[in-house]
């Protein structure tokens, strides 16, 4: 099972055929956002040429906890601590652009958790916030289950040219 394949509430917006689901304007917008993120993060991380992005539009909803969706999708694999580069060794930078706000505004739960040796740290999603971090062993992370409402995000993984 490829976690980047198109299933249910997870959709890869940069693949051929994305126009069919997003419409031409939506597909162009998704590409433009990812390209802007690539250039911005290349500068911020001092990696001159981040490239070959892979992306997922994600919709996490309380309905994902029961019934057919939970049975058919690996949606809650995100809740298990993981390292992105362990899944794809070529990943250099991981990024999440939040399209909705947590803390009870649009949804409850759904925080990004970074797991440290001594303690975990939590990031509450805010619409328009871009979170980016290196994809290696230094950043084990997970996403809390959404307990109410709907969490929308664009997740992108970039490869380094080196």
Element (H, E) at 120: strand 120-123
Q: Which of 38, 111, 145, 151 is catalytic?
A: 151
pLDDT in tens, 16-26: 888 888 888 98
Q: Can you read off the two tokens belonging to residue 144?
A: 């809390």
88 noted as active-site residue: no
The rounded distance, in Å, linking the Cα atoms of 39 and 130 is 13
The string of DSSP letters for 73-118 reads --GGGGGS-B-HHHH-TTEEEEEEEESS-TTTTSEEE--EEEE-SS
pLDDT in tens, 76-135: 567 789 999 998 999 999 999 999 999 999 999 999 999 998 888 999 999 999 999 999
Q: Are 83 and 114 in contact (CB under 8 A)?
A: no
**What does pTM read for this prediction?**
0.85
């Amino acid at each position: 099972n490829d976690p980047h394949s198109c299933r249910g509430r997870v959709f890869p917006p940069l693949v051929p055929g994305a126009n069919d689901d997003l419409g031409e304007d939506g597909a162009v917008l998704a590409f433009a956002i990812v390209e802007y993120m690539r250039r911005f993060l290349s500068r911020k991380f001092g990696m001159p040429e981040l490239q070959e992005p892979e992306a997922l539009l994600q919709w996490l909803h309380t309905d994902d906890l029961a019934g057919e969706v939970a049975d058919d999708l690996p949606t809650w694999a995100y809740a298990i601590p993981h390292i992105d580069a362990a899944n794809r060794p070529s990943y250099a930078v991981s990024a999440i652009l939040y399209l909705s706000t947590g803390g009870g505004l649009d949804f409850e739960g759904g925080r990004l958790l970074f797991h440290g040796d001594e303690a975990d740290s939590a990031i509450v999603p805010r619409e328009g916030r871009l979170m980016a971090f290196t994809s290696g062993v230094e950043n084990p992370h997970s996403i809390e289950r959404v307990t109410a409402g709907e969490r929308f995000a664009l997740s992108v993984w970039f490869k380094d040219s080196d």
